[in-house]
Structures are given as structure tokens and as C-alpha cells.
Amino acid sequence: MLTVEKIGGTSMTAFADVLQNIIFHHRAGAALYNRIFVVSAYAGVTNWLLENKKTGAPGVYHRISENQEFGAALHDVAGKLKELNKTYAPLGLDLAAANAFVDERLGQAQTYLASLTNVLASGYVNSYNILQAAREILASIGEAHSAFNSVNILQNKGLNATLVDLSGFSDAQPLTIDERIRQAFAGIDFARTICIATGYTKGTEGIMREFDRGYSEVTFSKIAVAVRPQEAIIHKEYHLCSADPNLVGVDQCHPVCFTNYDVADQLADVGMEAIHPKASKPLEINAIDLRIKNTFDPEHPGTLITRDFVADHKHVEVITGTDKVVMIDIYDPLMVGTAGFDLHLMQAFFDLNISYIFKATSANSISLLIWKKDLKPQLIKELEAKYEKITVENSSMVCLIGSNIDQPGLLARAAGALAEAGINIRSAGFALRKVNIQFILAREDYKNAIIALNKALG
């Protein structure tokens, strides 16, 4: 059975566990093959190259974007990669070969980036395109590094392993992402080798222009569509659980065993990504089943996500949400009965590329929930210039999500559980499909709300 499997950065860093729990787990001989692994960079590496995903702390890219000398910063990254290499030598990594790869790849990157910065300094070109190219070059280094190491370790353990380097670092072929993937895998006999592919793919459209740091899952998805495996698998450092175990306690939640792509999209919409929604769509359209597995719990089958699954009994599958949102309320007495009023309102959000994740309306007001990071002073300024009153409140959202939750009394039970916990509901809503019931709360009520709902409904 051919599978395409993605291994995340945290799992890759614990590569001894990857070997034991994924690659060799209950396998020997021919059963080791017929698998394509799409690997992320080791944890932290892309932060060094670009910027810290959580804190925003600058990496090498920041120096380039600020027209600063970047060679020393890139050299520091090379040293860190070699230090990482040392930790994998006990697993069979050829340290000399791995360090030579780092020197070669970062030397090439230095040359490319120096050329880009020279062009940028001329002032004759669009800086956005040049800087985007720099991000692509830097991002590709991390996945190439971990992929090379993985292949080297497997080969030194006697396996036939093939490096599928999709970064295109040494060629100038004007290929799209899909074309590069199809070309790279053409002619490979999957029954005779384990393929290790980079999570970054070079393409004429630029994989980071649309997906930025979510690109490795897009590569994974596109490879799956190209080779049509029996199953696509993502290995993470945790289970997809019925609630956040860090909030409710490990013994108060459980892994979700089955769900569908619609539920996966609902989860992604509030930041609990089983898979990037733009990576899941091609899998869903092509009816490729997706399994989410915990690297550190190999005996558990994980969560199987399919296109058509509906739970055989009505229940909430996941209780989740976020406290990193703000509610914007737009009040105007001219709103009532005016056709297309919110069309003009939404134009301001569209112009600033701001998407909302919740919307509620009444006769004279429209309330929209957006990510706190997307709140821009310019947006509020434009809204205040057009409408009578704009209110912005720090908020949180908790969601009851599942493939079959349309049951009488669920809304009342959930509201009752929140009331018993002393939590006031500021707004609420659900679409006709009833796969996601959403409650908008004060930001400080988020944790207690998750605990209360999990206790009542989990």
C-alpha cells in the first residue's frame, strides 16, 4: 500500500523516535518501502532563517529586508546546522558528508542572496518580488538539510533511500510546483525505495507567496495528488483530541478517531490545524483519505479524515476555539432595510486583506470577529469615517464541532454549562449545516469555557 507521509518539525528533531515509531515500526524487508516521506526542517531552523513564527524574533531574512549585511547571520546558521548534525551522528549520520552538504548549500544560498541584494540596492526592480525570492531561497534550506540527513541515515542502516530534493537549488528550469513534483517522481519504483522529499518545492508561482510557512503541507498534498496513494498521513507530536489536554487535562479528553474534511476546515478556521485548509482541499476533491498520527504513540491508529464520514450517533467531536481574536461591532441607524449595506462594509476588509471568522447581524449593527494580529489602525479609521459607531473588544471564541451534532437541546445544554460557570455569552451562531456552534466570550473567560463545555458535553 503506497502512502505519502508528512513528518513535522518537532517530530523530525526527535529522529530516533521517527526511526523507531514510524519508519521501522512493525516493518521489515519489502514492507519498509512503498512510502514517500515529506519532511519539515528540524524544529527552530526555519525560525533562524526567516523569523520566529511565534515571537517574530528576526532571522537572516530580516537583515536582507532591512538592507543589512547578512553573511555573518547566514554563517551562524551554518554553525547551528552542524551542531544539529552532531546530535544525529549516533543514529548513523555520516557527519563529514552532512557538514559538507551544509557548506555547499549555504554557499550556494550566499551567492544567490548576494545577487538579489545587489539588484535590490539598485532600486530598479520591485522590492516585494526580490524579497519574496529571498524568503523562498532561505526557507528551502531547512527542508533540504533534514531530508539529506534522513536519507544518509537510512542508507547507512542498509535501506535503499532516495532523496527527492524539490528545492530546485541547482537548476533554472521554469517549472510550476506541480510540474516539478511530477518530474521528480517520474520513473521511481516506490516498491524498491523509501523516498524522502523536501517539504519545500520550488515553482514559478512561488509556494510561499500564497502559503508562506504552511508550504510543507501544500507540498505533501500535491505529491499525494500526483502519485495517488492509498492513504496520506501526517505525523505530529500530539493527537487530534476532543479538547486541548493542556487546558482540560489528559484524562478529560480523548483522541478523535474518525471525522471528515468539513470538520478539519472548521478546526483550521480557529487555528487548530489538522492540516492547512488549502492543502486539504486537493485531498478532499481527489477522495484521498488523510490520517493524523501521533509520532510518540505509534500503536494508536490516529484520526482518519475522509470526505464522506458522518458519525453514526449525534455528538460533539471537538471542543476548541481561540482567545487571540477581537470583535468589531459596526453600528449605524441607516443600516436597517438598506440592501447591500454590508457589501460596502466588507469592501474595507477586502481592501486590507482581512478575513473574518464569525459574523452576526441585527437591524442596526454588524459584528465581525477577526484575528487580533489582523487588526489594523487603518481599518478602524476607515470604518469610523463611514459609520456612526465602531466598537472593538478583546474576545475569545469557543466552538462545538462535529460531523453530526444536530441534536435537540445541544445549544441549551452548552449555554447552561457556560451560565453555571458564570460566563456571559456576548454573541453566538451556527450555519444551517450545523457542524460548528460558536460562542463569543470575553477573552478572560476562554479557558474556563473550554473546561465547562468539555465537562458538560465531552
Q: For the chain, give every domain's residue range.
A: 3-237, 318-457
For 177, the 3-state DSSP assignment is helix
pLDDT digits (tens, 9 = 90+) for 291-312: 999 999 999 999 999 999 999 9
Q: 129 pLDDT band (50/70/90 cuts)?
A: confident
Q: State the pLDDT at residue 355.
A: 93
Q: State the pLDDT at residue 86.
A: 98
Q: Give dist(CA 111, CA 239) in Å, integer.
A: 42
The three grid cell numbers given for residue 336, joined into one nine-digit string: 436597517
Burial of 250 (0-12, 13-18, 19+ CB in 10 A): exposed
Q: State the pLDDT at residue 198.
A: 98
Q: 230 pLDDT band (50/70/90 cuts)?
A: very high
Q: Is the pLDDT of residue 141 over 80?
A: yes
Pick the range with the lowest mean pLDDT from 43-57, 127-141, 169-183, 264-278.
264-278
Q: 323 pLDDT band (50/70/90 cuts)?
A: very high
Q: State the pLDDT at residue 416.
A: 97
Mean pLDDT within 33-47: 97
Tell me how far CA of residue 371 lies from CA of 327, 328, 393, in angstroms.
9, 11, 12
Share of residues in the chain with pLDDT > 70 (%): 100
Q: What is the mean pLDDT of the chain?
A: 94
Q: Give dist(CA 370, CA 270) in Å, integer.
A: 10
Q: What are phi and psi of 321, to 5 degrees?
A: 160, -155
Share of residues in the chain with pLDDT > 90 (%): 86
* β-sheet bridge partners, residue 5: 37, 233
Q: Is the pLDDT of residue 38 over 80?
A: yes
Q: What are phi and psi of 170, to 5 degrees?
A: -110, 15
- For 318-457, CATH gives 3.30.2130.10
For 237, the 3-state DSSP assignment is coil
Tell me how far CA of residue 283 lies from CA of 106, 238, 404, in angstroms.
34, 22, 22
Mean pLDDT within 309-322: 95
298-302, long-range: CB within 8 Å, 24+ apart, which pairs? 298/20, 298/21, 298/22, 298/25, 300/239, 300/255, 301/257, 302/233, 302/239, 302/240, 302/255, 302/257
Q: State the pLDDT at residue 260.
A: 96
Q: What are phi and psi of 32, to 5 degrees?
A: -75, -20
The three grid cell numbers given for residue 48, joined into one nine-digit string: 533562524
Multiple choice CATH, 3-237, 3.40.50.20, 3.30.360.10, 3.40.640.10, 3.40.1160.10: 3.40.1160.10
* Cβ atoms of 249 and 22 closer than 8 Å: no
Q: Give dist(CA 15, CA 98) in Å, integer.
A: 15
Task: Say which DSSP state 40 is in.
Answer: P
- The angle formed by the CA atoms of residues 144, 148 and 154, to the nearest 5 degrees, is 145
Q: State the pLDDT at residue 10.
A: 93
The three grid cell numbers given for residue 368, joined into one nine-digit string: 465581525
Nearest of 364, 388, 374, 369 to residue 441 by alpha carbon: 369
Q: State the pLDDT at residue 441.
A: 98
